[in-house]
Amino acid sequence: MASPSLSSSSIIMLAVITYLLGAFTGSSDAQLTTNFYSNSCPQLFFTVRLVVENATQVEPRMGASLLRLFFHDCFVNGCDASVLLDDTSNFTGEKSAVPNNNSLRGFDVIDQIKTAVENACPRVVSCADILAIAARDSVVLLGGPTWNVKLGRRDAKTASLSDANSHLPPPTLNLTSLISNFQNHGLNSTDLVALSGAHTIGLARCTSFRTHIYNESNIDTSFAQTRQSSCPSTSGSGDNNLAPLDFQTPTAFDNNYFKNLVNQKGLLHSDQQLFSGDSTNALVQTYSTNPNMFNTDFMTAMIKMGDISPLTGSNGEIRVNCRKIN
């Protein structure tokens, strides 16, 4: 017997119900969208950009710090703003993890953005989405490409110190381990090389590159000697002394990072590994001469990274204060 046909009104009602189930039950099918706050917070992008622009004008390095915050958030159980949570007497967050402690910065800028956004649209925009927008704006303000940021994430109510210690790739990894680490997050070797290009801005601590400049052969001798002048060989001495990841243009988002790798002037062991490995060498060389291709692949990789395990629908919450659970 033929099944009864549905009226057009019934079909529309089913479509609405399906949408609501996806949007409000935390379904894994719920999608991030670029217009998520178009109606609920139309001034969001202007508000975020204003704070980021001021912060990077005061200190251009802040752009790299905000970009790094987003990376360190997404690589630990997804882009859920867990990295922003402060430790309390009964809660341990991710800030004291080895890759984050005395290294991550920019939390005060995120606080400023959140305050401004809350004034404009109370309890509407997640801290996770603020991180994503701030990362994009930082790249643009330092001369890099722009892209449409996908939004709709919610904020985690938990954090994991152990996962932060194990999921974030240290600067000592070889190429095989780097590729494996990124694959574990759904990112391929092209994404690895493109995202590593973020090191065209920012600074690194002596403790992160000491072994590379003293004990390895795949580094330009004069470059190593220059870096040694401010990074003593003895552990514990000058650990927090800083050096630019891209010694040519450390506050400009460009492709000089890749030119440095070709000339064996990568500051980190993990950076120089990208040029040393057969599977990534060609891409490094291509980016060093083709900034447009780098920009395109970087945008693609940033969008992919922003899609890592977001909390949506009824999962998570919209934090009023990014540093603590509601």
Write down the catalytic residue from 72, 185, 212, 269.
72
Q: How far apart are CA 211 and CA 208, in angstroms?
A: 8
122 is in an annotated binding site: no
254 is in an annotated binding site: yes
Phi-psi region of 153 (alpha: psi -120 to 50; beta: other; left: phi over 0): beta
Coil, strand, or helix at residue 164?
Answer: helix
Looking at residue 92, its amino acid is T
Q: Considering only CA atoms, which of 317, 312, 306 is closest in space to residue 69?
A: 306
Specify the amino acid at residue 158.
T
190 is in an annotated binding site: no
Q: What is the DSSP secondary-structure string of 279-299?
A: HHHHHHHHHHH-HHHHHHHHH
220 labeled part of a ligand binding site? no
Closest C-alpha to 258, from 209, 196, 179: 196
Q: How many C-beta atoms surround the C-beta of residue 245 within 10 A?
A: 23
Residues counted in the chain: 326
- Residue 199 counted as an annotated binding residue: yes
Judge residue 236's burial from the number of C-beta atoms within 10 Å of its C-beta, 0-12 exposed, 13-18 middle, 19 or more buried. Answer: exposed
296 is in an annotated binding site: no
| DSSP alpha helix (H) spans, the chain | 8-24, 44-58, 61-74, 107-120, 127-141, 161-167, 175-183, 189-196, 206-215, 221-228, 256-262, 269-276, 278-289, 291-306
- Residue 169 assigned ligand-binding role: yes
Query: Is 72 known to be catalytic?
Result: yes
Query: Residue 29, annotated ligand binder?
Result: no
Q: Where do we find the tokens 């984050």?
A: 100
Return the active site residues: 72
- Binding-site residues from annotation for substrate: 169
Binding residues for heme b are 199
Enumerate the known binding-site residues. Answer: 73, 76, 78, 80, 82, 94, 169, 199-200, 246, 249, 254
